[in-house]
Amino acid sequence: GCVMQCAAGHHAAAVAGDAPAPPPPRAAAVVVCALYKFTRLPQFEALKPPLLATMEQGGVKGTLILAREGINGTIAGPARGIEQVLTYLQEDAGLGEITCKYSYHDEPPFMRTKVKLKAELIAMGVEGIDPLESVGTYVKPEDWNALISDPEVTLVDTRNDYEVDIGTFQGAINPSTSSFKQFPEYVRRHLDPKVHKRVAMFCTGGIRCEKSTALLKQQGFEHVYHLQGGILNYLEKVSEPESLWRGDCFVFDERIAVNHRLEGLPYEICGGCNYAVPASARALPEYRKGECCPRCFAENAHKLQNSSNQENKDADSSSSKQECTGVSLDRPGDVDDD
């Protein structure tokens, strides 16, 4: 069988292969399972039909991505259906242990069942980056504070700007990317193996750091570390008084963000810029549901003002033309980016 081992709380990180599933907490009908594994799958296309059939037979919704380098995705359904999918992957498809994170919901978060074939599990756009060949040193949540408190360590958040915006680790550098494909360019411009002797990186659930640390190792960085199980594992394992996490954590499901206790929060996604908007910002007059938030309203007003100054137009004319058009960011739909 496959483990669905759950901590006392609402979210759990586990690997497939140890124990039968306990009943979901709060008698929730829907189990959500975020999973990934880097492994060699030369015949990955052939796994699609039987995997899709197993998901459909078990009433499992969500999306799984198959690639030559492994599997990634988030699925949801009854506990038995999730078990069947994991058993298929572990035993029939021969993947062995798979990194899984569980949460429990009253309503199904996904409407469709999909298996996609892709060139990469997490697109970074750099040839030859193979986490199975070389990857950074995993650091357990319990040891993370000591590492990132070392002044010799450069701490980099590998997530995108809209994720970092609502929370990150104390002292972390924000690369200001809107897509993971921009991360290699950030490394090229701002990190140097001769200067940055020890680099620690983190992401939501761990998968992006498999790629980012492999990239740095390939480019000659010697001491590269990443947070095992990502931010979600840290929030689960490290108590709030001891925590160096600041703010909330962006997640790629209907909750949008969670607090340190891994509880869903009342954020909404801005229709203009795709950033997460808290309730306090939604109370402001610049917020228009589905159109813009105070952040992209101010950004757009600034652009219009600059344009107005260049064209020698008066302030009244420019302010009358303010529109809430933000930049569409690279947010996956129903697949956890981690």
Give CA 136 to chain center in angstroms.
18
Give the DSSP per-residue string, 174-223: ----SSGGGHHHHHHHH--TTT--EEEEE-SSSHHHHHHHHHHHHTT-SE
Distances from the Cα of 309 to the Cαs of 78, 290, 296, 305, 306, in angstroms?
Answer: 59, 29, 20, 6, 5
Catalytic residue, candidates 2, 33, 100, 203: 203
Q: Which residue from 301, 277, 297 is spatially nearest to 162, judged by alpha carbons?
A: 277
Calpha distance 236→156 (Å, rounded): 21
59: amino acid identity, one letter: G
Helix, strand, or coil (residue 239) = coil
Calpha distance 317→184 (Å, rounded): 41
Catalytic residue flag (residue 203): yes
Helix, strand, or coil (residue 103) = strand
Q: Give bridge partners of residue 156 from the DSSP assignment.
A: 173, 201
Q: Give bridge partners of residue 247 from the DSSP assignment.
A: 167
| HSE value, Cβ hemisphere, 13 Å, CA-based, for 166 | 24
Point out the residues that are catalytic.
Answer: 203
